[in-house]
Amino acid sequence: MTPWMLVTVAYSQEAENADGAQAAPQAALAEPAVPENALPGTASSETVADPGAIPQGGFIGNDAYGAIPLGSGWGYVWAVYIVTWLTMLGYAGYLALRNRSTP
Partner 1 sequence: MKWHYALGALGVVFLATGHTWGLFFAPPEFMMGDVGRILYAHVPTAWNAMLVYLFAFVAAIGTLWTSKSSWESWLVGFVEVGVVLNILLCFQGAMWAKPTWGVFWDWDPRLTTTAILIALFAGVLIQRSLFHAPDKRRIITGVTAVIAFVNVPIVYFATTWWNSLHQGLSSPDTVSNPMHWPLRVSAFGVLFLAVAFSAERAKQERARLDRDGRAPTLPKAQEQLQLGAE
45 to each of 30, 56, 62, 63, 72, how far by Cα in Å? 10, 23, 11, 13, 16
d(C-alpha 103, C-alpha 98), whole Å: 10
Least Cβ distance, residue 27 to partner 1 (angstroms): 15
Instruction: Check binding of 5 to partner 1 (CB under 8 A).
Output: yes
- Of 23, 26, 58, 93, the one binding partner 1 by CB under 8 A: 58
Between 10 and 30, name the residue whose CB sits nearer to partner 1: 10
d(C-alpha 44, C-alpha 32), whole Å: 6
Least Cβ distance, residue 30 to partner 1 (angstroms): 19
- Of 26, 34, 48, 93, the one binding partner 1 by CB under 8 A: 48
Instruction: Check binding of 81 to partner 1 (CB under 8 A).
Output: yes
